[in-house]
Amino acid sequence: MATLEIRDLHVTVEADNATKEILKGVDLTVKQGETHAIMGPNGSGKSTLAYSLAGHPKYTITGGTVTLDGEDVLEMEVDERARAGLFLAMQYPVEVPGVSVSNFLRTSATAVRGEAPKLRTWVKEVKEAMERLNMDPSFAERNVNEGFSGGEKKRHEILQLELLKPKIAILDETDSGLDVDALRVVSEGVNRVRETGEVGTLLITHYTRILRYIKPDHVHVFAGGKIVESGGAELADKLENEGYEAYTKGGASE
Amino acid sequence: MAEAQNIPVGSTTAGSIAVAAESTVATRMSAPPSFDVQDFPVPHGREEEWRFTPLERLRGLHDGTAVATDEGVRVEVQAPEGVTVELVDRDDPRLGKGGTPVDRVAAQAYSSFEKAGVVTVPKETVLTEPIRIAVHGEGGTRFGHQVIELGAFAEAVVVIDHTGDAVLATNVDYILGDGAKLTVVSVQDWDDKAVHVAQHNALIGRDASFKSVVVTFGGDLVRLHPRVSYAGTGGEAELFGIYFTDKGQHQEHRLLVDHNNPHCKSNVVYKGALQGEDAHAVWIGDVLIEAKAEGTDTYEMNRNLVLTDGARVDSVPNLEIETGEIVGAGHASATGRFDDEQLFYLMARGIPADEARRLVVRGFFAELVQQIGVDDIEERLLVKIDEELEATV
C-alpha cells in the first residue's frame, strides 16, 4: 500500500532579498485510500506544503524528509515525482500556448504510464472522462489553460487526476473560485478517484464548504507553518463554527 | 490591432498604425532606392534601417571593404524539364525589374555582381517538381543576383537552400506573370560564422499568387528584406517566416508589402523562437496601402517565443493607410516566454524537461509549418526544430 511520509519538513523561500522560513516542521502520513483535509488560514503555509511536495524550484527544503513507499521524494526531479505517483492539482494552473489539451494529456499519460496509451482506447477514455466532468469535446482542441475560466481550469486539473491515476493526489485549493455547480462536478470527479481506493488524497482548503462533498477521514489544522491540531471530520465542524481565530491568536502563527 | 504581452526585459515591441498623406516608410530611409552603391552613405548604425544591426559583424558588406572571392561559394540550380536556366551579363534587360535596392548592402550587391542567374518558367507551364537552388559556402565572399520569372499562368515551387560558411549579399527578383502561382522556400541553414544579407523583390502580376516561406536557422548574422509590390489588380501575397535564433546569432527580417494596386491581398505571419545568451531577433513589418489601392485586404503578425534568459526580440509592425476604402487591415505582435512556471506545470505531469520544451516549441510552430504546403520541407523543418532544441537543452 502506497504511503507518503512527511517528517519534520522545513522549507524556506527567498523574498525581498531575505530568506523566510514558511514550513516549520511538518509531520504527516498519508496512506493509499485515505483522505486528509488540511485546513488553515491564509498565509499559514498550506500551499507551500503542496508545491514543496511537487518540487517547485521556488522553495528550498532546509530540513526533514519526504518519502513515498520509502523512496526519497526530495531527491527526485519534478517529473520523476509525478512518474513516481505524486499529483498536484494546482490552484492557479498556468497557460501553455501552442500545446493543445489533447496533445498535452497524451504526452503526460505516456510519461506517467511509461508507454503510449493505445490510441483507440485512449480516445474513448478521454472522451468519457470529459463527459463525466461536463466538459465540451471542443475543449480537447484548445490550448492548455489558455482562456479557460476558473471553473474550466479546475475541471481540467481533475480530468488529469482521473487519467493519470496517481498514488497520492494533492489538491491545492481546488474549491477556490468555484460556484456551487462547478464545485459539485469537481468534487464528484475527486470522489470517483477516491472510490477506487487506490489514491491517498491530501485536500488543502481554506473553507469547509468542499468537505460537504468530499468527506475526509482526517482533518488537520495548519497554522504558522505546521500542523497544530489533528482530528476526525468533527474537527471541520468545529472550524466551521469557530473559524481559525483560536489558532492564529495563540502564538502558533508567525 | 497592436498587442504586446510578456515582453522580456530589454525588448521592444512598438506598433503603429499611421494614417498619413506621406509615407514614412519611404521617408525614414536614409537614401532613396538606387542601383548604385555610391548613392548610399556608409551607415554608422544610427540610421532607422540599420539601428538594430551589428555593423561590425557585416564583414565589410556595408562599407565597401568586402571583396568577392573567385571561389568559395557555389550556386547550383536543378530544374525540371521546360525550365530555362541561364547565367547572364549585367546588361541583361531582365535584371532589376522586381525592385530597386533600398539600402547600401543591396546596392553594393547590385553594383558588384559579375553574372546573374535567370530562371524562367514559360507561360502556362505547370511544374510538378520543385526547382532547387543550392547555395553552398566554403568560406568565400560573393555578391549575387538571381531572377526567377514565371510567365502568365505558370506554376512553380522553388526551394533555395543556403548552407556552409559564406559572406553573401544578393538581390533576388521574383517576377510573376498574370495568373501565375509561385511558392518560394528560402532556407538559411548556414554554419555559425556565415553572414547573409539579401533583398527579395516580388512583383506580382494581375491575379497572380505569391507565397514566400523564409526559414532562418543558422548564420552569425542574417538580414533579409522580403518586399512585395503588385503589377496589377487581384494579386495575392502570403509571406511566412520561421526563425530559430540561437546564442549569439543576429537574425533580422524586414518586410515590406506595398499595396500599390487595388483589390490585392497580403498576409504576413512570422514566428520565431529564441534561446541562449545574446540571441537577437529583429522583425520589421511595414505594410503600405497607397491611396489608389482601394479594396486592399491585409494582415500581418509576428510572434516570438523566448525560451531562455539573455535573448532579445525587437518587433516593429507598421501599417500605413492612405485610403479608407479597404476590406481589412490589421497587425499584431506579441512576444511570450516559455517560463519556469510552464516548465514546472508540464514536469509536474511527468513530462521530462527537454520533452516539455519540445512540446511547446513544436506546438508554437506547427500551425505555420502546416501552411507551407511542400511536404518534404515541412518534415525537414520539424526535424530541424528538434535538432535546434537538442543542441542547447
pLDDT tens figures, A174-201: 998 899 999 999 999 999 999 999 999 9
Nearest by CB to residue A103, choosing from B340, B348, B363, is B363
Nearest by CB to residue B348, choosing from A88, A100, A144, is A88
Q: What is the pLDDT of residue A6?
A: 98
Q: Which residues of B touch A167 (CB under 8 A)?
A: none
Using a CB–CB cutoff of 8 Å, tell me whether B349 touches chain A. yes
Tens digit of each residue's pLDDT (9 = 90 or more) over B255-297: 999 999 999 999 999 999 999 999 999 999 999 999 999 999 9
User: Check: CATH 3.60.120.10 for A3-249?
Assistant: no
Residue B13: band (very low, low, confident or very high) from pLDDT cuts 50, 70, 90: low
Q: What is the pLDDT of residue B22?
A: 54
Nearest by CB to residue A111, choosing from B344, B351, B361, is B351
Q: Please state the separation of Cα A144 from the chain's center in Å.
A: 18
CB A171 within 8 Å of CB A190: yes
- The pair phi, psi for residue B93, each rounded to 5°, is -65, -15
Using a CB–CB cutoff of 8 Å, tell me whether A85 touches chain B. no
Nearest by CB to residue A79, choosing from B353, B359, B363, is B353
pLDDT at position A254 over 50 = no
Using a CB–CB cutoff of 8 Å, tell me whether B344 touches chain A. yes
Q: Which residues contact A136 (CB under 8 A, 6 or more apart)?
A: A130
pLDDT at position B19 over 80 = no
Q: How far apart, in whole angstroms, are the C-alpha atoms of residue B60 and residue B67? A: 8
A79–B366: do the CB atoms touch at under 8 Å?
Answer: no
Strand pairing category for B280-289 and B250-259:
parallel
- The pair phi, psi for residue B250, each rounded to 5°, is -115, 115
Q: What is the pLDDT of residue B12?
A: 53
Nearest by CB to residue B363, choosing from A98, A108, A160, is A98
* Shortest distance, CA A113 to any CA of chain B (angstroms): 9
Q: What is the pLDDT of residue B209?
A: 98
pLDDT at position A249 over 70 = no
Q: What is the pLDDT of residue B321?
A: 94
Give the least confident one: B50-54, B211-215, B338-342, B388-392: B388-392
Using a CB–CB cutoff of 8 Å, tell me whether B5 touches chain A. no
Strand partners, B305: B273, B336
CB A246 within 8 Å of CB A252: no
Q: Taking residues A223-246, what's their average pLDDT?
A: 92
Selected residues 273-292 of chain B with any CB under 8 Å from a CB in chain A? none
Q: Which H or E element spans position B110?
A: helix B104-112
* Shortest distance, CA B385 to any CA of chain A (angstroms): 15
Q: Taking residues B378-392, what's their average pLDDT?
A: 82
pLDDT at position B16 over 90 = no
Q: What is the pLDDT of residue B363?
A: 85
Q: How far apart, in whole angstroms, are the C-alpha atoms of residue A186 and residue A190? A: 6
Q: Give the residue from chain A lying closest to B354, CA to CA.
A: A79
Strand partners, B147: B118, B173
Q: How far apart, in whole angstroms, are the C-alpha atoms of residue B176 and residue A74? A: 64
A112–B364: do the CB atoms touch at under 8 Å?
Answer: no
At position B1, the amino acid (one-letter code) is M
Tens digit of each residue's pLDDT (9 = 90 or more) over B168-188: 999 999 999 999 999 999 999
Strand pairing category for A96-100 and A143-144:
antiparallel
Q: What is the pLDDT of residue B393?
A: 47
Using a CB–CB cutoff of 8 Å, tell me whether A141 touches chain B. no
Mean pLDDT of chain B: 92
Nearest by CB to residue A56, choosing from B344, B351, B360, is B344
Residue B7: band (very low, low, confident or very high) from pLDDT cuts 50, 70, 90: very low
Q: Which residues of B touch A79 (CB under 8 A)?
A: 347-348, 350-353
Strand partners, A26: A9
Q: What is the pLDDT of residue A245?
A: 86
Q: Taking residues B357-379, what's their average pLDDT?
A: 86
Q: What is the pLDDT of residue B8?
A: 44
Q: How far apart are the first and last CA of chain B?
A: 35
Q: Which residues of A touch B341 (CB under 8 A)?
A: 94
Determine the angle formed by the axes of helices B353-369 and A101-113, rounding to 10 degrees.
150
Q: What is the pLDDT of residue B76?
A: 97
Q: Taking residues A50-78, what's their average pLDDT?
A: 97
pLDDT at position B373 over 70 = yes
Q: What is the pLDDT of residue B2?
A: 34
Q: Give the residue from chain A lying closest to B359, CA to CA.
A: A99
Q: How far apart, in whole angstroms, are the C-alpha atoms of residue B386 and residue B393? A: 11
CB A103 within 8 Å of CB A158: no
Tens digit of each residue's pLDDT (9 = 90 or more) over B137-161: 999 999 999 999 999 999 999 999 9
Indicate the SS3 state at residue B164.
Answer: strand
Output Rg (C-alpha) for chain A, integer angstroms.
18
Residue in A76, A77, A104 to test binding to B, most B beta-carbons within 10 Å? A104
Q: What is the pLDDT of residue B9?
A: 42
B344–A103: do the CB atoms touch at under 8 Å?
Answer: no
Residue B186 in grid coordinates: 528560402
Q: What is the pLDDT of residue A247?
A: 86
Sequence spans of domains, chain A: 3-249
Q: Which residues of B touch A170 (CB under 8 A)?
A: none
Residue B315 in grid coordinates: 518587433
Residue B222 in grid coordinates: 542574417
Using a CB–CB cutoff of 8 Å, tell me whether A41 touches chain B. no
Burial of A61 (0-12, 13-18, 19+ CB in 10 A): middle
- The pair phi, psi for residue B262, each rounded to 5°, is -75, 155
Give the least confident one: A115-129, A239-253, B33-47: A239-253
CB B312 within 8 Å of CB B343: no
